[in-house]
């Protein structure tokens, strides 16, 4: 029987697009995810924000530098205390040994003569004073021996106390050194953050940042020039009044002799300060161009308070090390009454200081990466001013 032909249609092969659809879906999902991440990521800060952040980091570094300076000063003082304590402990130990030798000589003498040797027992007893308090022993000792025993006990007690003080001083020194290291790390961290922020800027952004700095300096310069003009006008008025006063005295019409004497006294005091200030400014000008280095006090580099301290030392005035202490070292003066040589402090945390030179300007050690220079006092927010002497 012949085979019957199949009436079933052959199955056609169709290509499936499932893999392509899956790839497209994954791609769309990836784009969506990236878009979501971009939407939630922090936007890049503006140049103005970068400038503010960098300035703030430098200010914080300045404050940390003052903390470092204070910790360093404390550490140095504590080290001197430890050295004195160790020297005194050595002296007490030598005195104790001398007393011990004296008692030993008495014990040896008693041994040689065959006498009873309570002194020897006393010398090597765990508690010599308790042993010496026994009436039987004291009755057998001469006055010289009693004195030697008393001296020995005194020296032993003082030596023990001195050793305890030296140990305590060493522990305090260790604490001071740990604090010093912590302050140093704080400064380095702030400066590293500032450098990292600046390193992320493009060339164009750096140029824009430099332009912002230029505008800031120009504004501060204009304020300084206005201040210089006001000072010049005030000085011209003072000289005019002085000429009038002298003219009145020459014509015999002056009637305020007492006031004149008072002015002379004030002038003498002002002259003394001006003489000191001249030495301060001469020293400060000689440091212009030297680099700012945090914690430095000269002679090759300075931080802000290191420069002011060194400058006033040149005039025979010892200032404290930190801005926080320098701001208390003198007479407070208003910004309008500043004289050359006065110290001008900046920021709410008093983390910077400069030396006023007149005409609204100062000499200061600005910040890391900059050199000692003249600059307008209006470049930073003024906190207060002090006349050291």
- The per-residue DSSP string of 67-115 comes to HHHHHHHHHHHHHHHHHHHHHHHHHHHHHHHHHHHHHHHHHHHHHHHT-
Radius of gyration of the chain (CA): 40
Q: Which tens digits make up the pLDDT trace of 236-288?
A: 888 888 888 888 888 765 444 444 444 444 455 567 999 999 999 999 999 99
| Local confidence pLDDT in tens for the 389 residues of the chain | 444 444 444 454 444 444 444 444 444 444 444 444 444 456 777 878 877 887 888 888 888 888 888 878 877 777 777 777 777 767 767 766 776 776 676 666 555 555 545 555 555 555 655 555 554 555 555 666 667 667 777 777 777 776 777 777 667 777 777 877 887 788 788 878 888 888 888 888 888 888 888 888 888 888 888 888 888 888 888 888 888 888 888 876 544 444 444 444 445 556 799 999 999 999 999 999 999 998 999 999 999 999 999 999 999 999 999 999 999 999 999 999 999 999 999 999 999 999 999 999 999 999 988 999 999 999 999 999 999 97
> Quick one: which of 298, 371, 312 has its CA closest to 342?
312
Point out the catalytic residue in the list 190, 364, 367, 387.
364
H helix or E strand, kind and range, residue 301:
none
- 275: left (phi > 0), else alpha (psi -120 to 50), else beta? alpha
Residue 50 CB partners (closer than 8 Å, separation 6+): 197, 198, 201, 205, 209
> Quick one: which of 181, 3, 172 has its CA closest to 77?
172
Would the CA dihedral through 54, 361, 356, 228 be positive or negative?
A: negative
Tokens 């030697």 belong to 148
Point out the catalytic residue in the list 122, 304, 329, 377.
304
Neighbour count for residue 137 (Cβ, 10 Å): 18
Angle between helices 143-199 and 47-113 (to 10 degrees): 160
Q: What is the pTM of this model?
A: 0.59
Rounded CA-CA distance 323/329 in Å is: 10
Angle between helices 257-286 and 304-313 (to 10 degrees): 120
364 labelled catalytic: yes
Residue 304: exposure state from Cβ atoms within 10 A (0-12, 13-18, ≥19): buried
383 labelled catalytic: no
Rounded CA-CA distance 59/115 in Å is: 80
Cβ 362 vs Cβ 311: under 8 Å: no
Rounded CA-CA distance 290/355 in Å is: 16
Point out the catalytic residue in the list 156, 184, 227, 352.
352
- The percentage of residues in the chain with a pLDDT greater than 90, rounded to a whole number, is 29
What is the token pair recorded at 304?
Answer: 């802000």
304 labelled catalytic: yes
Q: Where are the alpha helices (DSSP H) in the chain?
A: 18-40, 47-113, 118-124, 128-132, 135-140, 143-199, 203-251, 257-286, 304-313, 323-326
* Partners of residue 375 on adjacent β-strands: 362
Cβ 119 vs Cβ 106: under 8 Å: yes
Residues in the chain: 389
Q: Which tens digits make up the pLDDT trace of 284-302?
A: 999 999 999 989 999 999 9
């Amino acid at each position: 029987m012949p085979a019957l032909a199949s009436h079933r249609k052959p199955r056609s092969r169709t290509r499936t697009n499932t893999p392509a659809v899956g790839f497209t879906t994954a791609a769309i999902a990836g784009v969506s995810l990236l878009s979501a991440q971009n939407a939630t990521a922090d936007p890049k800060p503006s140049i103005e924000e970068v400038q503010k952040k960098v300035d703030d980091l430098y200010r914080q570094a300045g404050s940390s530098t003052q903390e470092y300076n204070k910790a360093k000063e404390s550490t140095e003082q504590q080290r001197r205390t430890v050295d004195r304590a160790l020297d005194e402990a050595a002296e007490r130990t030598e005195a104790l040994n001398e007393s011990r030798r004296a008692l030993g000589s008495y014990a040896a003498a008693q041994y040689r003569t065959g006498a009873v040797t309570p002194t020897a027992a006393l010398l090597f007893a765990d508690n010599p004073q308790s042993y010496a308090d026994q009436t039987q022993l004291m009755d057998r000792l001469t006055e010289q021996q009693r004195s030697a025993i008393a001296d020995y006990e005194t020296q032993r007690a003082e030596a023990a106390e001195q050793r305890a003080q030296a140990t305590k001083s060493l522990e305090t020194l260790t604490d001071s050194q740990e604090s010093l290291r912590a302050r140093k790390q704080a400064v380095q961290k702030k400066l590293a953050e500032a450098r990292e922020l600046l390193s992320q800027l493009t060339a164009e952004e750096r140029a824009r940042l430099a332009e912002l700095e230029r505008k800031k300096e120009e504004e501060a310069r204009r304020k300084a020039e206005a201040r210089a003009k006001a000072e010049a006008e005030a000085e011209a008025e003072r000289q005019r009044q002085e000429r009038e006063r002298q003219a009145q005295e020459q014509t015999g019409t002056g009637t305020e002799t007492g006031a004149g004497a008072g002015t002379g006294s004030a002038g003498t005091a002002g002259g003394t300060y001006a003489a000191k200030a001249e030495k301060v400014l001469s020293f400060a000008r000689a440091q212009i161009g030297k680099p700012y280095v945090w914690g430095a006090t000269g002679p090759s580099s300075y931080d802000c308070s290191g420069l002011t301290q060194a400058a006033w030392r040149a005039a025979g005035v010892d200032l404290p090390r930190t801005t926080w202490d320098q701001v208390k070292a003198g007479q407070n003066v208003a910004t309008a009454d500043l004289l050359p040589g006065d110290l001008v402090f900046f920021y709410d945390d008093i983390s910077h200081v400069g030396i006023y030179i007149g005409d609204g300007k100062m000499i200061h050690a600005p910040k890391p990466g900059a050199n000692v220079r003249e600059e307008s006092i209006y470049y930073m927010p003024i906190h207060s001013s002090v006349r050291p002497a």
